[in-house]
Structure 1
Amino acid sequence: MNLLAVERIKLFSTRSPWWCALITVALSVGFAAILAGATPTDEPIALSATQFGGSQFGIAVVMVLAALAVTTEYRFNTIRTTFQAVPHRSPALVAKAVVVALVALVIGEIGAFGALGLAMLMRPDDHLGLHTTQDWLNVAGLGPVFAISAVLAVALGILIRHSAGAIALLLIYYLAVEELVQLIPKVGHHIHEWLPFNVANKFLRGSVVVDGPAPSDSPLSPGWALAYFAGIAIVFLLVALGVAKKRDA
């Protein structure tokens, strides 16, 4: 618990987490407001469409927050003090990942329910609400996806240690690589089915074609999709912990 408290204090001692949290919520709620205001009143909007800002862009900002939580310590060499206080290193890094994941979880839930609430206020006749299990996953599921994405970003931050490099790699992969993989002849589609953020999208949106981006082509059920996504994050974190133990701070 002491390590968790220390990591919480370190995380919120800088401005970047606050700004990232504010931007993420603003993206989630802002896109919902734009959609609700721009869609003609005789065309009802889908619940999943209200989550477009968070599920498409909020994840990227949360991963930037998570990567900075690690790389900033390497940049200013405060990580040396951390490792001197915790010589085995892994407990401190795991505590950091847990704290960042919990913060990401809270940000995701605030953004998701805030977007839904605003859309319901602006479009009272569209009967938006959490009527099915998939509706709940689409909204409440954003927090767990944010949390797992944050763990992935922490792991990458530990491996790369440089803010610019870690953020660039995260954003390029999230925004471009998974889509470009589909262009590989013959095998691209099959590879894409198992890529992490495509699988996470299956958990959030299922297989129903609604407004917004095309649904995931992952063959997994939503529950197994979340487990698979979490498994990938845990594997990356374990690899990062192993590397952190072997090299100089």
Structure 2
Amino acid sequence: MTLLAVERIKLFSTRSPWWCMGLALTLMVGFAALVSGSADSAGDVSVPVTQFGYSFALAVILVLATLSVTTEYRFNTIRTTFQAVPSRTSALLAKTTVVALVSGVLGTIAAFGSLGVAMLLQPDASLALNSEADWRQVAGTGLVTFFAAVVAVAVGVLIRHTAGAVSVLLAYSLVAEGLVQLIPRVGDDIHQWLPFNVANRFLTGNPDVAVVFEGPGASTSTLSPWAALAYFAGFSIVMLLIALVTAKRRDA
């Protein structure tokens, strides 16, 4: 518990996490307000539409989680951490836990905030969470951002440099996975197993439904929604294990 408290203090004692949290909330809720407010009628606003800003908020959350690690490497405070806590695994697990929990809570608040602002702007719209799919679309955002933060921390530990780690994460999650589909013959088969595409399967459900101008894009994964979440969680754990082993074997 002491390690968790220390990591919580370190996370919130700098400005960048606060800026990132504010930006993530502003983007997701702001886009929900923009899309809902500009809709021609209440019938054009649905639960997925309120989550239009998800991808933008996720990108900021990935940056937040990466900075929690790379900032320590940049200013060499990670050396002090490892000297105070001889077990690097314990120190990094505490950091990952705190960052992931904050990211999960942030994702949940942003998702429900987006739904709430849409209800205010379009009170006649059908925005009740009447199905499991609706609940996954909104409440499930917190689960995805939780495990996405674990991936981001792992990448931060592996690369250690802010610019490099952020570039890799954003380029991969926003661009690279989609470009894989352009590979002849095998592109689509590879794409359906890529982690962020699979995570979208958990949020959006039916991959046969074309999502246009809505939240997370329809996934090409063939897994069931909850199996997709388990897959994404497993990927994040594998990435973290690789990062922990790497951190133990090299100098701080």
Q: For this structure pair, what is the TM-score category when the shorter chain's length is used for normalisation?
A: over 0.9
Match of 1:21 in 2: 21
Match of 1:125 in 2: 124
Shift of 1:209: 3.3
Alpha carbons of 1:162 and 1:42: their partners in 2 closer, same or farther (altered >3 Å)?
Answer: closer
Mean CA deviation greater in 211-220 or 225-234: 211-220
Which string of whole-angstrom CA distances, capped at 9 and with x for unpartnered residues, describes residues 105-137 of structure 1?
111111000000110111111121101000000
Match of 1:48 in 2: 48
Match of 2:218 in 1: 215
Amino acid of the structure 2 residue aligned with 1:41? S
Amino acid of the structure 1 residue aligned with 2:105? V
TM-score by length of 1: 0.97
TM-score by length of 2: 0.96
Match of 1:71 in 2: 70
Match of 2:94 in 1: 95
Q: Distance in 1 between matches of 2:42 and 2:68?
A: 45
Q: Distance in 2 between matches of 1:196 and 1:63?
A: 14
Q: Is contact 1:178-1:198 (8 Å) kept?
A: yes
Which string of whole-angstrom CA distances, capped at 9 and with x for unpartnered residues, describes residues 140-185 of structure 1?
0000101100000000000000001000111110110000000000
Q: Distance in 2 between matches of 1:79 and 1:4?
A: 15
Q: Distance in 1 between matches of 2:46 and 2:119?
A: 11
Which string of whole-angstrom CA distances, capped at 9 and with x for unpartnered residues, describes residues 30-74 of structure 1?
0100101111026421211111102x1111100100000000000
Shift of 1:210: 4.0
SS at match of 1:130: coil
Q: Distance in 1 between matches of 2:112 and 2:142?
A: 10
Gaps of 5+ in 1: none
Q: Is contact 1:46-1:210 (8 Å) kept?
A: no
Q: Distance in 1 between matches of 2:174 and 2:15?
A: 25
Confirm or deny that 1:12 pairs with 2:15: no
How many percent identity over aligned positions? 61
SS at match of 1:52: coil
Q: Distance in 1 between matches of 2:26 and 2:147?
A: 21
Q: Is contact 2:147-2:232 (8 Å) kept?
A: yes
Amino acid of the structure 1 residue aligned with 2:230? A
Q: Distance in 2 between matches of 1:205 and 1:18?
A: 29
Gaps of 5+ in 2: none
Amino acid of the structure 1 residue aligned with 2:233? A
Q: Distance in 1 between matches of 2:53 and 2:59?
A: 11
Q: Is contact 2:151-2:236 (8 Å) kept?
A: yes
Which string of whole-angstrom CA distances, capped at 9 and with x for unpartnered residues, describes residues 82-106 of structure 1?
1011112000000000000000011
Alpha carbons of 1:75 and 1:214: their partners in 2 closer, same or farther (altered >3 Å)?
Answer: closer
Q: Is contact 2:45-2:126 (8 Å) kept?
A: no
Q: Is contact 2:47-2:134 (8 Å) kept?
A: yes
Confirm or deny that 1:245 pairs with 2:248: yes
Confirm or deny that 1:183 pairs with 2:182: yes
Q: Distance in 2 between matches of 1:11 and 1:181?
A: 35
What is the CA RMSD across the aligned residues, in angstroms? 1.0
Q: Distance in 2 between matches of 1:24 and 1:60?
A: 8
Match of 1:163 in 2: 162
Which string of whole-angstrom CA distances, capped at 9 and with x for unpartnered residues, describes residues 169-225 of structure 1?
111101100000000000000000000000000000111334436410101001000
Alpha carbons of 1:63 and 1:42: their partners in 2 closer, same or farther (altered >3 Å)?
Answer: closer
Match of 1:153 in 2: 152
